Amino acid sequence: MKKLSIILFILIFLAQGVLVYAEEFSKTTFNLGEVFVTAEKEGVREGKSKIESKTLKTHKIVDLAEILSDEMIEASMIRKSGYGNEVGLRGFTKSNLRFTQDDTLIEGSCGSRKDPPLSHINLLTIQKIEVGEGPYDVSVPGALGGSVNVITKNPQEGFHGEILSKFGSYEYLSQGGFISGGNKKLQGLFGYNYSKSGQYEDGAGNKLSSFNPNYNDDGKNLDAFEKNDFWGKVSIKPAENQNLLFSSSYGEASDIMTPRVAMDTEKEKTYLNKVEYAFKDLSPISEQLKLSAYYNRIEHYPYGKYRTGAINSKRIEAISSITGVQVENKTPSDLALFTYGTDFYHRNWYGDIFNRDTGAMLNDELFPDVNELNFGAYLKAERDIEKLSVTAGLRADVFHSKAQEDLKFSKVMTDTNAQTDVLPSANIFLKYFLQENTNIFGGVGLTNRMPTTVERYVQEGAGYYGNPDLKPSSNFETDLGFETKILERLKFKTKGFYSYLYDFIYQQSSGGVKTYTNIDAYLFGGDATATYDLSHGFAVEGGVAYQRGRKLDQPVGNNDKDLAEICPLKTKLALNYDKNGFFAVYEWMHSLDSKDIDRDAGETPLKGWDVFNFRAGYQFAEKEGSLSFLNGLSLNFGIDNMFDKKYAVANSYEYDPTDPGGANVKIVNEPGRFIYASLSYSF
């Protein structure tokens, strides 16, 4: 805690110094933080990327993690099944990232993360995705290595809508759409999507079920998933400067295959609800005031019906709910544009194991009815100083967690069942323009994330349980980058980072017992991207990303210095064409062998791979001589893994609460050649 206090003091001192200096200069409007922006302003808000819905539609739209790992060179994916996969950013994955929809927290309810947060969001609802890297967003609690915020479509005036049909290999099908309409005072939106898929095969013809040997005959012929999603929004404008927005979505999936772990999912239900009241220009000290509240609930029911052995007779009921509120205000001043607010959330998570045949209780505290409460307050300031743009942020959180049930297995370690943590965060980010199209940027920041319910409280058995004494993880990170645009044709950007991870939460296996511990470690890496305009609609795009993680402390029973879940060097080269409504992308993705891995934590070497993808499409637009009924029609076609290669992108680190003893999860290969097409009509 002493180290954190010193770091926080230094950051606050730096932020105050820069802002006091800024008072001597005039103010202009400038936002920092985006890496790239499609169809919007470029170069705003260093540290965040935006991916628009137009880009999403060109992909096969099975899983959001796949799209992010393809669109962003610094993003990676952990393959779990046909959908419901994890995304990683620069070596940070799972709970070390924060996931939100319209700024509301989303957490799955599966202890082995068969339902990562992004799997609960239907891709047809998405307007854009904002991806933030590093500790530079103080408005989000617990974002250790970055955050992903999915912004959904809002209702519009008039009458609008979209119908989309997509189909592909392995009996993949997605049908859905939405309608929106209203006047200036009242608008509404409603949408529905149905999707399903059979089991895919890897490049060698191995079915999805083959990656786990305990599937029975019925499981070997099971479809991969089936899912229905409904969503809606209502927007009311009581006055010209006010907007009241209600949003709600419901999703239900069944028989989701997850060969990476010991159980599949019989059923999964998703409830996402939010209400927001926004005011603009209320007074000189309130440019924008937002009041919001939300309730998100995930019901997850794994079972062993399609598995062999003792697991066949088991099922789990796991339910997680989050209730939260947020108040945020923006105040312009001669000193800076200030954004400040406060937020609170309460999360409850419980999970029990039953006999699938008799209904008898087998374990009534797999997740022992844990309550988590977090209260946070934050302040961000943005300022231009001639060629220098500055943002600085402060945040403080008080986090409390408590298990309401007896910790019968963790008792051999500690009698603790409740913890209260105080978590300081701070950052400063600078961007200096050497010339109009050339700048250097960098920042330093401190942020934290709380231990999860699994890490502190899981009670799977005498061989696998949580550590209630875990401390929060802290990331003290430095970033530095350079960006330029030469002769309007060549864009180049490179950035690097170094993260010192204090009390980083890590798995530990010793004496036949699996649990979690705190260690110190570090992560470093960087990436570079370039785009060259060849003219006449053609462009070449390339990128490379690399990161490496090392332990400074060793968990008991682990002597490997490499940090787990760190992807090897990844490169991308693509030829793009975009002109007169037609686009085409031919890309080559490459990865080196996974060698710098944590073998003592169960990771195994993976071979490098080369994959070629192609996608193309045409958007009919209104022009002279065109048929009016074709306006708004869009056709897309694609082939992923064109040459049907066999490869895997994810390693085997992490424990499985659905498996007795918490065994390490399996490796699941990527799909083989996947051909898809879509037809959409917007009006």
The string of DSSP letters for 354-394 reads EETTT--EEEEEEEEEEEEEEEEEEEEEEEEETTEEEEEEE
Q: How far apart, in whole angstroms, are the C-alpha atoms of residue 87 and residue 270?
A: 20
Q: Which residue numbers in the chain have pLDDT < 50?
A: 1-46
Query: Contact, 651 vs 601, CB < 8 A?
Result: no
CATH of the domain spanning 2-682? 2.40.170.20
pLDDT at position 55 is 72
Q: How would you write 149-215 as a 3-class SS string?
A: EEEECCCCCEEEEEEEEEEECCCEEEEEEEEEEECCCEEEEEEEEEEEECCCECCCCCEHHHHCCCE
pLDDT at position 13 is 37
Query: Contact, 362 vs 314, CB < 8 A?
Result: yes
DSSP-derived secondary structure letter, 594:
B
Query: Contact, 515 vs 413, CB < 8 A?
Result: yes
What is the identity of the amino acid at 208? L
Burial degree of 300 (CB within 10 A; 0-12, 13-18, 19+): buried
Lookup result for tokens 């994916």: 77
Other Cβ atoms within 10 Å of 77 Cβ, number:
22
pTM of the model: 0.90
